[in-house]
Chain A
Amino acid sequence: MRRLLAAFGRFCWDFVVGDDWRIAAGVVAVLAAGAVVVASGALDDEVVTLLVGAGIAIVATVSIVLGARRAARG
């Protein structure tokens, strides 16, 4: 049973997180920061949406650059 659960956990990890965990970690970090800002009520909705969108673009950039470096190294 334990082995089955471990296999299911591994499958879920591979399915959602895939081969670059930095994307999942980055997205969660950006959304967590966005959640803190929203909860504080410090900024308008529209500003928060734009900042979170920009944060996600930075996560994508870092992941792609690191992926390209790894590919170039072979």
Chain B
Amino acid sequence: MTGGASGVGLVVSTFLASAVEFVEAFTIVLAMGLTRGWRSALWGVAAAVVALAAATAVFGYALARWLPESALQLGIGTLLLIFGLQWLRKAILRAAGLKALHDEEATFREEQEAARAAAGTRYLGGIDGFGFAVSFKGVFLEGLEVVFIVITFGLNAGSVGLAAAGAIAAAVLVVVAGVLVHRPLAQVPENAIKFAVGLLLTTFGTFWATEGLGVFAADAKPLEWPGGDVALLVVLAAWTAFAAIAVRLLRRTAALRARPAEVAP
């Protein structure tokens, strides 16, 4: 299942999805590190990584062990599809100018202002509670999305290792780039990457959830798309065309609304 289009799509999807989440987590940790101290921020990161590892082990093991393959395909495909459509919807609205673009510099400033304004923080063993908690929350919540994508893609494609490799590569790249530039990674084309990830998640979600409906057939075998696995590329092309048309139509509608009404002489 991980050969060809599925294998490449698996690594690309987990790499891109993880990269945008890690960039967002990095911005939060950087703001806390520079404002409240690196010791507290890094302890927050370490605690979040431990919590994420535990969550991955528990949910990954439970899903793989207790759910039959076809039910896994349907359940995971459905979750991935809902998740992917949320990303795609936001990306389309952003590209059409109907929703504010995600701005790491702005997020960084907001986090720093909040960190400076926070007073009366508790110190435990020399660790600033505010810096620790915000870093933990930022890394845990963004990391949970990565874990979700790695587990769902990995289990359905039959290679959690390959999916995890994409995520680890993204983590290494973001951390190295972040340490080198020592400022928010605002140059990363985050909105474009989110658009691509939305397309990939929606494509795989559509493909797997529909295949998984076979669990209700008499033979309980996955449904066959026309053309087999090649249909994955057709579904991706269809969603890409859908998104491009939606952006174009919404841009035109937004421009018409913005134009002042003509006054008759």
Contacts and interface: CB of A to CB of B under 8 A. Distances in A.
A17 interface: yes
Interface in B206-224: 206, 209-211, 213-214, 216-218, 223-224
Interface string A53-71: 1001101110110011001
Interface residues of B, number: 41
B242 A68 contact: no
Contact of A27 (B81, B99, B145, B231): B81
Contacts of A68: 93, 96, 98, 250, 253-254
B85 A49 contact: no
Interface residues on A, range: 20 to 34
B122 interface: no
Contact of A38 (B79, B206, B217, B235): B217
A41 B83 CA distance: 29
A71 B224 contact: no
Given A27-B78, A34-B210, A38-B213, A64 B92 contact: yes
B257 interface: yes
B226 interface: yes
Determine chain B's interface SS by DSSP, over half rule: helix
Interface string A1-44: 00000000000000111111001100110010011001101000
A60 B205 CA distance: 13
B242 A57 contact: yes
B123 interface: no
Nearest to B100: A71
B223 A38 contact: yes
B155 interface: no
Contacts of A18: 82-83, 86
Nearest to A28: B78
Among A34, A35, A49, chain B packs the most CB atoms within 10 A around the CB of A49
29 contacts: A17-B82, A20-B86, A23-B86, A23-B89, A24-B82, A27-B85, A27-B209, A31-B213, A35-B213, A38-B223, A39-B216, A39-B217, A41-B218, A45-B224, A45-B225, A49-B210, A49-B224, A49-B226, A53-B210, A53-B235, A53-B238, A59-B85, A60-B89, A60-B202, A67-B89, A68-B254, A71-B98, A72-B98, A72-B253
Given A39-B216, A61-B246, 16 more contacts: A15-B144, A16-B82, A16-B83, A27-B78, A27-B81, A27-B209, A31-B74, A31-B78, A31-B213, A38-B217, A41-B218, A45-B224, A46-B224, A49-B210, A53-B210, A63-B85
Interface of B: 74, 78-79, 81-83, 85-86, 88-89, 92-93, 96, 98-99, 144-145, 148, 202, 206, 209-211, 213-214, 216-218, 223-226, 231, 235, 238, 242, 246, 250, 253-254, 257
